[in-house]
A and B are shown apart, each in its own frame.
Chain A
Amino acid sequence: MKIPVTTIRLPTRPAREYKSRFDREQSLLKMLAIPITSVAIASMITALPIFTEEPMLPPLGLLMFLSWRLIRPGLLPVWSGVPFGLMDDVFSGQPFGSAGLLWSLAMLSIEIIDARAIWRDHIQDWLIAAVLIAGVLLGGLWIAGMAHAAPAPAILIPQIILSILLYPLAVRICARLDSWRLAT
């Protein structure tokens, strides 16, 4: 019997269709590049034309960085706070080195917490992230105050609250990216 041409389903991705589904390997490039790029892009969000009267935009780079660290322990090395932080400093407007120092200290404190509280749930991670976000923002203000005249710390309260509330969203984004990262 002759099959009409229209009923033959052509595979959209032939290479994928006929490849073996067993023993596939994850792409090393994707595994490494996705966490790095996502934190970098989140740090660069401040370059978009967003104008606020007071510091209001959450430190998105820090949120992504903490989420990756807390949902995937062992993925980012202990020293990774320094390079990620220095990159954030280029875009944030803070004195250069401020995030490099603060993010690295945050990373080391998570390392210490990891040794004490091994099995944690999401709420505990959120609590840790909340403390670290508040610490990094206040530390950033203190450092900016050393280099220049700086406003009173009360100005940071809305930003701190907003950042803490946005942490679960950052975790979700990281989790989605993570499943894409590890997909074969």
Chain B
Amino acid sequence: MAPPKHRRPGFSRKAQYGLFVTYVVAIAGTMVAALLLAISVADPAGFSALRAAGAEITAPVARMFSNVRRSAQNMNATAAAYINAGSQNAALQKQAKANRKKLIEAQALRVENARLRGLLKFSEDGESQVAVGRLISSTSSSTRRVATLSIGRNFGVERAQPVRGPSGLIGRVIETGPTTARILLVTDAENLVPVMRVSDGLPAFSAGLGNGTVLIKPLNLGESPFKVGDVIVTSGNGGLYPPNIPFARVIKKTSDGALAIPYADPGNTPYVVVIRPYQGEARAAQQAVAPDGETKEVAE
């Protein structure tokens, strides 16, 4: 359709000025938006209250759809379980028999570990849970990988708390609202996680690539020591993520590291657990000196 002829509004001064004003407002509005953008680039947490309000408004609908989605998934699983009952039973019994031996071994190791720790007078806080929630939405149209959690400050969720699912690490809390919280997923390019290879404790860093995979970079230089199928867990370095949370499986070796797929799929995780930061006190002391996002040299 051709645009209406408002460009030349005739001899009416009022119409001419009106047209001029819309252009002035458009340019001024664009500049205001650019200014807001500059503020939010300088201080990424600056407009978190607005985003939290947005999440609160849409949360009821998101919760409802999340419930619908979950019950549909449950229905599929239940139907599949009936169909596979016989073969699955046989396979599981075989597996259980094989696992029993390992379980006894693990129990013995746990007792030995506790005794050795007692000898060393080495104490550390275990993984302590803050709250259990559900992921109700994600930023699926933006390049940022941020998900919304169904619980917020009402359940004691705070900033910089790790979040894990039953199958592995999901991410960490970056913003909290009254009944929702936003979680930076491990696949976001911003999220660096200290990890290690489970077989030999080889230390490495993980950075998200934004496409559902993470890049694992070993701390030592040289050729990539990873093999396809290596299991990566969190190492506990840095004091935020507790150690030994299942993290990812290596799918491809690259020249200086490896590509891996996280075990926890946010779309397929029924419940997630918000946990306390590992060694929270040490981290708080460190944060007082150099907060996240700004490196500050300590003059000493």
Give Cα A57 to B267, complex, Å.
Answer: 14
Contact between B33 and A144 (Cβ–Cβ < 8 Å)?
A: no
Would you give the shortest CB distance from B33 to chain A, in whole angstroms? 3
Q: Does B266 touch A at the CB level, under 8 Å?
A: yes
Contact between A150 and B143 (Cβ–Cβ < 8 Å)?
A: yes
Chain A residues near B34 (CB, 8 Å)?
Answer: 97, 101
Q: Binding site of A, secondary structure by majority: helix, strand, loop or mixed?
A: helix
Give Cα A151 to B209, complex, Å.
Answer: 6
Q: Mark A82-97, 1 if CB is under 8 A from B, else 0.
A: 1101100011111111
Contact between B136 and A55 (Cβ–Cβ < 8 Å)?
A: no
Chain A residues near B29 (CB, 8 Å)?
Answer: 79, 81-83, 100, 104
Q: Does A67 touch B at the CB level, under 8 Å?
A: no
Chain A residues near B148 (CB, 8 Å)?
Answer: 47
CB nearest to B27 among chain A residues: A108
Chain A residues near B32 (CB, 8 Å)?
Answer: 82, 100
CB nearest to A147 among chain B residues: B41
Contact between A49 and B40 (Cβ–Cβ < 8 Å)?
A: no
Chain A residues near B66 (CB, 8 Å)?
Answer: 49
Contact between B2 and A49 (Cβ–Cβ < 8 Å)?
A: no
Give Cα A39 to B262, complex, Å.
Answer: 35
Give Cα A16 to B202, complex, Å.
Answer: 77
CB nearest to A71 among chain B residues: B1
Chain B residues near A155 (CB, 8 Å)?
Answer: 143, 209-211
Contact between B189 and A91 (Cβ–Cβ < 8 Å)?
A: no
Give Cα A89 to B201, complex, Å.
Answer: 42
Tell me how many residues of A have a C-beta within 8 Å of chain B. 62
B52-60, B106-114, B228-236 - the one binding chain A: B52-60
Q: Does B291 touch A at the CB level, under 8 Å?
A: no
Would you give the shortest CB distance from B181 to chain A, in whole angstroms? 14
Give Cα A59 to B142, complex, Å.
Answer: 8
Q: Does A140 touch B at the CB level, under 8 Å?
A: yes
Residues 54-75 (chain A) with a chain B CB within 8 angstroms: 54-60, 71-74
Would you give the shortest CB distance from B206 to chain A, in whole angstroms? 13
Contact between A53 and B187 (Cβ–Cβ < 8 Å)?
A: yes
Q: Does A177 touch B at the CB level, under 8 Å?
A: no
Give Cα A114 to B2, complex, Å.
Answer: 8
Contact between A159 and B141 (Cβ–Cβ < 8 Å)?
A: yes
B43-51, B92-100, B250-258, B275-283 - the one binding chain A: B43-51
Contact between B36 and A54 (Cβ–Cβ < 8 Å)?
A: no
Partner of B54 from the list A78, A91, A97, A146 (CB cut-off 8 Å) is A91
Would you give the shortest CB distance from B220 to chain A, in whole angstroms? 23
Q: Does B140 touch A at the CB level, under 8 Å?
A: yes
Q: A48-B61, A71-B1, A85-B33 are in contact. Are A96 and B51 (CB under 8 A)?
A: yes
Q: Please list the residues of chain A having a beta carbon within 8 angstroms of any beta carbon in chain B.
A: 44, 46-60, 71-74, 77-79, 81-83, 85-86, 90-98, 100-101, 104-105, 107-108, 111, 114-115, 118-120, 140-141, 143-144, 146-151, 155-156, 159
